[in-house]
Amino acid sequence: MSFFFPEMKASQYFSMSLFLLILLISCPWLISANPHLNNFLGCLDSFYSNHISQVIYTQNNASYSSVLNATIQNLRFSTPTTPKPLVIVTPLQTSHIQATIRCSRTNGLNLRIRSGGHDFEGLSYVSQVPFVVLDLTNFRSVKIDVKNKVAWVQSGAILGEFYSEIAKRSRTLAFPAGICHTVGVGGYLSGGGYGLLLRKYGLAVDNVIDAVFIDVNGRILKRKSMGEDLFWAIRGGGGGSFGVVLSWKVKLVSVPSTVTVFTIRKTLEENATNLVHQWQSVGHKLPGDIFSAVTMRKVNRNGKTTILVAFSSFFLGETNALITLMKAGFPELGLKKEHCTEMSWIESILYFGQIQNKSIDVLLDRSYKSPLNAPMVQNKIRLRQKPNSKSWIRKDLV
């Protein structure tokens, strides 16, 4: 006699218990105390979706923490009190993504989409309400069409994987994106994307020509079927706002087989204030083939605190041409041949990523700890529309 099923015979009760036991052994992710999670998992299970149990990580799963932490870049959002997802899904096929969207929606769970995990506020893996992380780590194929200068890249690829695939096929093709190679394509393109080729070729999203997108109803859309408004919005309107972008079709851009880079460092005692002041009014007038940036940091020189200013440039051409252009546009910097290094575009990604003594295969390393990433820092961007005065620069620097 069963308390739950009074009419059931002992043999029927035994068969049913056996069935439930087998179900729980074969689907351990169904064991959960959380009703949201139970309903979500039950929904996934009932959904027609092949092998989905292999890509589900609940908090009971031994791999849960390593999967969650694999791409967390900002340790401010990886503390014991940081809210954790009820479940992480690492889909292998499109139907897994559709099922995850539908089941989180019908069960009132927030869905966080994660590609490379570099979100400054941890938005791809933190939420204040019960949530699911959809991690696109298995969606990272890259297809390059050298002849037509286009590529399809999936969102879960990191920029380094994309760059490597381009460089494998051609020394004179590139994609205008950022210098931190572990940033994910999905979040990067969702935010617009700036990089070394910005002045010549615009933002990364200016070079996106199609996309495969899954909307809140699980529909798969391309540029034509989603319409130009949505296509405009997903290219810079902010990740996680409209749906899941699965892959992007992009134009590749031409670069010379040799590019030139340099970094000239000056302290306050070496005229840095005047040079920064001047750079503000000449930097943007340099030809579009030159990308020029200034970074500053406090250093100790001979027991005295000073500021070290680095003037860095990337040029689409060879040293002699760069020196001629810099002499005309910013002679005060005093650029000489010995400051310059010639290399390929792909090598320049390592140079600006501050990666030394490593082969370009490092670009495939998703877990590489980039020196560009300050893991506990909150980034702030302050845009100035007018050049800063010398006294303001001095005050700001010191």
Ligand X SMILES: Cc1cc2nc3c(=O)[nH]c(=O)nc-3n(C[C@H](O)[C@H](O)[C@H](O)COP(=O)(O)OP(=O)(O)OC[C@H]3O[C@@H](n4cnc5c(N)ncnc54)[C@H](O)[C@@H]3O)c2cc1C
Contact positions vs ligand X (CB under 6 A): 73, 112-120, 123-124, 136, 155, 178-180, 183-184, 186-188, 190-191, 193-195, 239-240, 244-245, 370, 372-373
Q: Which is nearer to ligand X, 118 or 235 (CB)?
A: 118
Pick the closer one to ligand X by CB: 190 or 273. 190
Of 182 and 260, which has the nearer Cβ to ligand X?
182
Q: How far is the CB of 36 from ligand X (least distance, A)?
A: 20
Amino acid 165 reads E
Shortest Å, Cβ 242 to ligand X: 7
Give Rg (Cα) of the chain.
26
CB 24 within 8 A of CB 87: no
Q: Identify which of residues 156 and 266 has a Cβ nearer to ligand X in the complex.
A: 156
Strand order in the sheet with 110-114: 56-58, 87-89, 131-135, 110-114
In angstroms, give the least distance from the CB of 387 to ligand X. 23
The residue number whose beta carbon is nearest to ligand X equals: 239
Contact 164, 364 (CB under 8 A): yes
Q: How far is the CB of 66 from ligand X (least distance, A)?
A: 17
Smallest separation (angstroms) from ligand X to the CB of 195:
5
Of the pair 192, 329, the CB lying nearest ligand X is at 192
Cβ atoms within 10 Å of 60's Cβ, excluding its own: 11
Strands 173-174 and 87-89: unpaired
* Residue pair 124/84 in contact by the 8 Å Cβ criterion: no
Name the minimum Å distance from CB 179 to ligand X: 5
CA distances from 207 to 172, 177, 198, 231, 250 (A): 17, 10, 11, 13, 6
Q: Which is nearer to ligand X, 195 or 283 (CB)?
A: 195
